[in-house]
């Protein structure tokens, strides 16, 4: 191997944050300004190195490889690692700058920046890992460092409690990934990820595990590890309750750390090509998580907890995309959500402060439409609005997908994503109809034009991103094929869902147009639904019950042991 500038690029990207943490430890006696300048400066260097590495790869699409010469300790910058490194370094730089003033009055200023640099370096090590051992080391260290960051305030018992809760959940999720690495090494005798993927492609069924193909067993274990790391149901309870930590940590966690599940599934994409049934499980778990997270997000009165459940829902959608074979779309979603959610968390404090200074809610146009519901002189006919709602989003999404890939109808994953986009676009138009604007025709036209621009731009960017992430068309087709189900099941399911959606929107418009008075006394079903949602689907209560049961059992065993 030759050590060139390109070859050393991966090590520089990873080592700079660790060097920053070491320098802060050595010169921690300096002022807070010196600590902040050092850490922010090193973070900026890391970001520019990551961006330069991505540009170099785009100019010369050859993976950058750096090996320590042993069985492990290698770094590998392929399209996935290059894109993720830029996203991680960019978000980390923003968090570093934001924390300069936010953490100024907090104790342990140097300790916080040391942990922040260590976390940045460890995440970069994970995304650039070229072998199983390096990947596992980084995977484990992220959980440990997150525990210390969430529990940074040593005087807040709630922060320490939920930091340990997160640490415990991460440890549960780490076990399947360790077992998957052990199975792969035992079967193929190497830790190198590229070599492993080549050998799996050559002989995927050569080493069965308990009667099942090795890729199926490994894919299931990797998926379980991803479920815990990305807060998928039922391992989601830690995420909404980790808001006791500093806001910069929340931003970094929700914008980057919690996305590790989507990354690890993409990293093991060659394994999931031979584990289609696992992708079906990923889709089902992601769908349940997306629905639960979206519902719970809308019912919270705490802005940061609401953002936490929003992240849970978005992680669910990301797993849905993986489950239908749209692996590159999941990474695009991961990056876009990271930038968006990081901005929301960093702005949450200002929003709370502004709300405390105001006596009431400002009466802007949205408030007037949604809350006051002032009558208007004109309104779209409900049947016409229903037809527009059902037809327009479908045409916009279908034509945009057809422009970039004419055979998308043959891909089940594309059709499933089209259904999600269809429902979302229809919801937007339905909300527009219920706003009761003074000029409903103008508002509906503006919304449709905005939808066309957003969907077309999103589709073109996603298509280009897909070609960059997985340039081999055969790999993309194999992933979609692995995620597909028999046509005898898929086609009737599509027909039933289409009819259900159309009838549902017609019924929703008719109910909205008729303005039927609601009963002042809620029905038992509504009360049961309210209880279910207000108690957050009883997930935390179930875990609390098991915890109390284990503690009671341990106390009983402690008493019994005295008589032995």
The Cα angle at residue 117 between residues 339 and 311, in degrees rounded to 5: 30
Q: Read off the tokens for 181.
A: 């690495």
Kindly state whether residues 176 and 316 are assigned to the same domain: yes
C-alpha 126: how far from chain center: 16
At residue 152 the predicted structure's pLDDT band, cuts being 50, 70 and 90, is: confident
Contacting residues for 442 by C-beta, under 8 A, at least 6 apart: none
**What is the share, in percent, of the chain residues with pLDDT greater than 90?**
8
Q: Which of 123-127, 353-357, 545-549 has the lowest mean pLDDT?
A: 353-357
Sequential DSSP letters for 401-439: HHHH-TTGGG-HHHHHHHHHHHHHHHHHHHHHHHH--SS
> Which residue, 326, 360, 394, sits at the end of a domain?
360
In a domain, residue 367? The reply is no
Q: Stretch 462-487: mean pLDDT, rounded?
A: 79
- Give yes or no for a contact between 331 and 84, defined as CB atoms under 8 angstroms apart: yes
Task: Decide: 48 and 61 in contact? Cβ < 8 Å.
Answer: no
- 466, 540: one domain: no
Instruction: State residue 325's pLDDT score.
Output: 82
Which of 257, 265, 229, 246 shows the shortest CA–CA distance to 123?
A: 257
pLDDT band per the 50, 70, 90 thresholds, residue 60: confident
**What is the rounded CA–CA span in Å between residue 259 and residue 338?**
8
Q: Where residue 405 falls among pLDDT bands split at 50, 70, 90?
A: low
Is residue 2 predicted with pLDDT exceeding 90?
no
| Residue 136: per-residue pLDDT | 92
Asked if residue 109 is part of any domain, the answer here is yes
Asked whether residue 407 falls in the same domain as residue 335, the answer is: no
Q: Is 76 exposed, middle or buried (0-12, 13-18, 19+ CB in 10 A)?
A: buried
Does 149 reside within a domain? Answer: no
pLDDT at 3: 42
Q: How confident is the model at residue 522 (pLDDT cuts 50, 70, 90)?
A: low
In a domain, 370, yes or no: no
Q: Which residue in 438, 544, 563, 559 sits closest to 161, CA to CA?
A: 544
**Contacts for 133 with CB less than 8 Å, ≥ 6 apart:** 71, 72, 73, 181, 191
| 123 and 202 co-located in one domain | no
Tell which wins on pLDDT, 406 or 341. Answer: 341
Task: Give the model's pLDDT for residue 235.
Answer: 82
| pLDDT of 179 | 93
Select from 513, 505, 508 the least CA-distant residue to 387: 505
- Could you read off the pLDDT of 231-249 as tens digits, one per residue? 888 888 787 777 777 778 8
Which residue in 215, 212, 194, 192 sits closest to 203, CA to CA? 215
Closest CA to 80 of 59, 91, 64: 64
Q: Which two tokens stand for residue 455?
A: 């969907």
| Whether the Cβ atoms of residue 75 and residue 65 lie closer than 8 Å to each other | yes
* Domain-located, residue 180: yes
Task: Provide mean pLDDT across the span 260-267.
Answer: 89
Cβ pair 224, 268 in contact under 8 A:
no
The answer to whether residue 289 sits within a structural domain is: yes
Q: Are residues 273 and 182 in the same domain?
A: yes
Q: What confidence score (pLDDT) does residue 222 get?
A: 92
Last residue of a domain, one of 112, 130, 148: 130
Cα 298 from Cα 107, distance rounded (Å): 35
User: With 0-12 CB in 10 A as exposed, 13-18 as middle and 19+ as buried, what is 111?
Assistant: middle
Q: Tell me the pLDDT tens digit for each residue of 410-420.
A: 566 667 777 77
Answer whether residue 517 shows pLDDT above 50. no
Same domain, 486 and 533: no
DSSP helix/strand/coil, 523: coil
> What's residue 531's pLDDT?
77
Q: What pLDDT does 33 receive?
A: 80
pLDDT exceeds 60 at position 319: yes
Of 87, 112, 130, the position where a domain reaches its end is 130
Calculate the dihedral angle through the C-alpha atoms of 360, 364, 365, 369, rounding to the nearest 10 degrees: 0
What is the tens place of the pLDDT at every residue in 61-100?
777 777 776 777 788 888 888 888 998 898 889 888 888 8
**189 closest CA partner among 238, 131, 267:** 131
Answer yes or no: do 116 and 179 share one domain.
no
pLDDT of 492 over the 50 cut = yes
pLDDT digits (tens, 9 = 90+) for 183-212: 998 888 888 888 888 888 888 777 877 778
Strands (E) located in 53-134 = 64-66, 75-77
Tell whether the model's pLDDT for residue 402 goes beyond 70.
Answer: no
Q: For residue 137, name the pLDDT band (cuts at 50, 70, 90).
A: very high
Helix, strand or coil for residue 302?
coil
Domain count, the chain: 4
Mean pLDDT of the region 378-396: 70
Q: Looking at the predicted structure, is the pLDDT value of residue 393 above 80?
A: no
Domain presence at residue 365: no
Query: Which residues in 69-145 belong to E strands, given as ranges?
Result: 75-77
| Region of 268 on the Ramachandran plot (φ > 0 left; ψ -120 to 50 alpha; else beta) | alpha
Cα–Cα distance, 183 to 181 (Å, whole number) = 5
Structure confidence by residue, pLDDT tens digits, 31-55 = 778 888 888 899 999 999 988 888 8
Local confidence band at 173 (pLDDT 50, 70, 90 cut-offs): confident
Task: Of 494, 467, 506, 338, give the one whose Cα is nearest residue 412.
Answer: 494
* pLDDT tens digits along 280-304: 899 999 888 988 888 888 777 777 7
Average of pLDDT values for 472-490? Answer: 79
pLDDT at residue 437 is higher than 70: no
Helix, strand or coil for residue 35? Answer: helix
Q: How confident is the model at residue 5 (pLDDT cuts 50, 70, 90)?
A: very low
Structural domain span for residue 227: 164-360
Instruction: Return all residues near 335 (Cβ < 8 A) that are at least 6 apart.
Output: 83, 87
The number of beta carbons lying within 10 Å of the beta carbon of residue 543 is 16
Confidence of residue 28 (pLDDT cuts 50, 70, 90): low
Share of the chain above pLDDT 70, in %: 80
Examine the domain organization and report whether 251 and 352 are in the same domain. Answer: yes
Residues in the chain: 564
Instruction: Identify the weakest region by mean pLDDT among 235-249, 385-399, 548-562.
Output: 385-399
Instruction: Clarify whether residues 49 and 192 are in a common domain.
Output: no
- Between CA 484 and CA 335 the distance in angstroms is 26
Q: Tell me whether residue 159 is in a domain.
A: no
Quick check: 101 pLDDT over 80?
Answer: yes
Calculate the CA dihedral of residues 452, 456, 459, 465 and round it to 10 degrees: -140
Statement to judge: residues 202 and 326 lie in one domain: yes
Q: Is residue 130 within 8 Å of 56, Cβ to Cβ? A: no
Q: Are residues 233 and 97 located together in one domain of the fold?
A: no
- Whether 173 and 322 share a structural domain: yes
Q: How far is CA 326 from the centre of its chain?
A: 14
Model confidence pLDDT, tens digit, residues 442-458: 666 777 776 676 666 66
């Amino acid at each position: 191997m030759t050590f060139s500038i390109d070859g050393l690029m991966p090590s520089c990207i990873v080592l700079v944050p660790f060097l920053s943490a070491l320098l802060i430890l050595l010169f921690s006696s300096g002022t807070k300004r010196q600590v902040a300048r050092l850490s922010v400066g090193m973070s900026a260097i890391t970001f520019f190195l990551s961006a330069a590495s991505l540009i170099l790869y785009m100019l010369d699409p050859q993976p950058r490889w750096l090996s320590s010469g042993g069985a492990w300790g290698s770094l590998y910058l392929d399209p996935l690692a290059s894109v993720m490194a830029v996203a991680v370094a960019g978000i980390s730089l923003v968090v570093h700058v934001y924390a300069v003033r936010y953490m100024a009055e907090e104790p342990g200023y140097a300790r916080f920046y040391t942990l922040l640099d260590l976390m940045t370096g460890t995440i970069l090590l994970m995304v650039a890992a070229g072998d199983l051992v390096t990947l596992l080391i980084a995977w484990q260290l992220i959980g440990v460092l997150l525990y210390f960051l969430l529990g940074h305030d040593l005087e807040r018992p709630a922060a320490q409690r939920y930091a340990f809760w997160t640490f415990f959940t991460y440890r549960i999720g780490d076990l399947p990934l360790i077992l998957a690495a052990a199975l792969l090494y035992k079967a193929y005798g190497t830790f190198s990820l590229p070599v492993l993927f080549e050998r799996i492609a050559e002989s995927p069924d050569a080493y069965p595990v308990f009667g099942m193909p090795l890729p199926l067993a490994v894919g299931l274990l990797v998926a379980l590890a991803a479920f815990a790391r990305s807060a998928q149901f039922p391992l989601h309870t830690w995420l909404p309750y980790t808001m006791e930590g500093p806001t910069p940590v929340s931003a970094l966690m929700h914008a980057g750390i919690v996305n590790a599940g989507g990354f690890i599934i993409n990293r093991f994409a060659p394994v999931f090509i031979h584990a289609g049934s696992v992708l079906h499980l990923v889709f089902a778990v992601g769908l349940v998580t997306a629905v639960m997270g979206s519902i719970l997000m809308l019912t919270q009165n705490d802005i940061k907890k609401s953002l936490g459940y929003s992240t849970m829902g978005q992680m669910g959608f990301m797993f849905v995309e993986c489950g239908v074979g749209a692996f590159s779309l999941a990474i695009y979603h991961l990056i876009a959500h990271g930038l968006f959610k990081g901005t929301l968390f960093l702005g949450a404090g200002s929003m709370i402060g502004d709300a405390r200074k105001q006596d009431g809610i400002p009466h802007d146009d949205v408030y007037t439409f949604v809350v006051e519901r002032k009558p208007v002189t004109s309104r779209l006919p409900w049947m016409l609005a229903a037809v527009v709602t059902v037809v327009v989003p479908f045409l916009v999404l279908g034509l945009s997908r057809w422009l970039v890939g004419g055979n998308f109808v043959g891909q089940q994953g594309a059709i499933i994503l089209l259904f999600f986009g269809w429902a979302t676009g229809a919801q937007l138009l339905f909300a527009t109809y219920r706003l009761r604007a003074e000029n409903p025709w103008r508002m509906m036209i503006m919304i449709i034009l905005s939808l066309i621009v957003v969907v077309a731009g999103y589709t073109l960017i996603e298509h280009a991103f897909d070609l960059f992430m997985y340039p081999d068309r055969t790999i993309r087709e194999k992933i979609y094929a692995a995620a597909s189900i028999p046509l005898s099941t898929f086609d009737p399911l599509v027909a039933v869902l289409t009819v259900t959606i159309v009838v549902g929107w017609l019924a929703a418009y008719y109910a909205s147009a008729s303005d039927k008075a609601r009963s002042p006394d809620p029905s038992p079903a509504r009360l049961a639904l309210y209880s279910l949602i207000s108690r957050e689907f009883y997930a935390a209560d179930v875990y609390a019950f098991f915890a109390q049961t284990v503690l009671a059992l341990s106390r009983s065993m402690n008493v019994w042991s005295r008589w032995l």
